[in-house]
Structure 1
Amino acid sequence: MLILLISTVSPIFAKKKPSKVIVAYVTSWTSDIPDPTQITHINYAFGHVNDAFNGIRIDNETRLQSIVDLKKKYAHLKVLLSIGGWGSGRFSEMASDNTKREQFAKDCARAVKQFHLDGIDIDWEYPTSSAAGISSHINDTHNFSLLMKAIRKAIGTKKLLTMASVASGKYVAFDIVAPYLNFVNIMTYDSGNPPYHHASLYRSALSGNTTCEEAVAAHITAGMPAHKFVLGIPFYGRGNKEEVKSFIDYKDLLKLQGLEKKWDDVAKANYMVNQQGEFVLSYESPESIRLKCDFIRAKGLLGAMYWEYAGDTEDGILRSTVYSGIFE
Structure 2
Amino acid sequence: MTELVAYLHGRHEWQVENIPGERLTMLNYAFAKLNGVAIADNVPNIDRIPAIKAAYPELKINISIGGWAAEDFSDAVATAANRERLAANIVKFVQDYQFDGVDLDWEYPGVDLSGIKATPQDAQNFEAFLQELRRQLDAVSKAYIISAAVGADQELLAAMAVNGEYGYAAYLDYVNVMSYDLRGSWTEYTGHQANLFSYSSIDGALSADQAVQDLLQHGVTAEKIVVGAAAYSRDWVGSDEPSLPNALHRHAQSVGSQTTPYLDLKPLIADQPEHYFWDETAQAPYYFDGQTFRSFDDPRSLRAKADYVKHQNLGGLMLWELSLDPTADLIKAAHDQLNQS
- The one-character-per-residue Cα deviations of 1:207-250 (angstroms, maximum 9, x if unpaired) are 64511111100111222111111110101110015578611111
Does structure 1 residue 54 correspond to structure 2 residue 41?
no
Partner of residue 262, structure 2: 250
CA RMSD of superposed structures (Å)? 2.0
- The one-character-per-residue Cα deviations of 1:243-294 (angstroms, maximum 9, x if unpaired) are 786111111123447781111111111111123xx56111111111111111
How far apart, in 1, do the equivalents of 2:114 and 2:56 lie? 36
How far apart, in 1, do the equivalents of 2:232 and 2:308 lie? 20
Aligned ranges 1:223-302 → 2 under 5 Å: 223-241=219-237, 246-256=258-268, 260-275=275-290, 280-302=293-315
AA paired with 2:191?
Y
Identity percentage over the alignment? Answer: 28
Does structure 1 residue 210 correspond to structure 2 residue 201?
no
Partner of residue 308, structure 1: 321
AA paired with 1:317?
D
How far apart, in 1, do the equivalents of 2:206 and 2:8 lie? 25
Q: Is the 8 A contact 1:123 1:164 kept in 2?
A: yes
Secondary structure at the aligned position of 2:56 is classed as: coil
Q: Is the 8 A contact 2:5 2:26 kept in 1?
A: yes
- The one-character-per-residue Cα deviations of 1:33-74 (angstroms, maximum 9, x if unpaired) are 222111111101001111xx211114435x223124322342
How far apart, in 2, do the equivalents of 1:104 and 1:252 lie? 40
Partner of residue 100, structure 1: 82
Question: 1:25 Cα shift?
Answer: 0.3
Structure 2 portions without partners, runs of 5+ = 239-253
How far apart, in 2, do the equivalents of 1:117 and 1:230 lie? 20
How far apart, in 2, do the equivalents of 1:38 and 1:207 lie? 35
Structure 1 portions without partners, runs of 5+ = 1-18
How far apart, in 2, do the equivalents of 1:23 and 1:142 lie? 28
How far apart, in 2, do the equivalents of 1:309 and 1:58 lie? 23
| Distance of aligned partners of 1:132 and 1:152 in 2 relative to their CA distance in 1, 3 Å threshold | farther
Question: Normalising to structure 1: TM-score of the pair?
Answer: 0.87
Q: Is the 8 A contact 2:20 2:328 kept in 1?
A: no
How far apart, in 1, do the equivalents of 2:257 and 2:149 lie? 25
AA paired with 1:325?
Q
Q: Is the 8 A contact 2:4 2:24 kept in 1?
A: yes
- The one-character-per-residue Cα deviations of 1:157-215 (angstroms, maximum 9, x if unpaired) are 32111100111333223632222111111001111135110111111127645111111
Tell which has more relative contact order, 1 or 2 (C-alpha 8 A, sep 6+): 2
Partner of residue 251, structure 2: none
Partner of residue 5, structure 1: none
Partner of residue 142, structure 1: 124
How far apart, in 1, do the equivalents of 2:27 and 2:216 lie? 25
AA paired with 2:106?
W
Q: Is the 8 A contact 2:198 2:282 kept in 1?
A: yes
Aligned ranges 1:166-185 → 2 under 5 Å: 166-168=151-153, 169-173=157-161, 175-185=166-176
Q: Is the 8 A contact 1:125 1:132 kept in 2?
A: no
Q: Is the 8 A contact 1:145 1:177 kept in 2?
A: yes
Alignment: residue pair count: 304
Does structure 1 residue 128 correspond to structure 2 residue 123?
no
Question: Normalising to structure 2: TM-score of the pair?
Answer: 0.84
How far apart, in 1, do the equivalents of 2:181 and 2:12 lie? 21
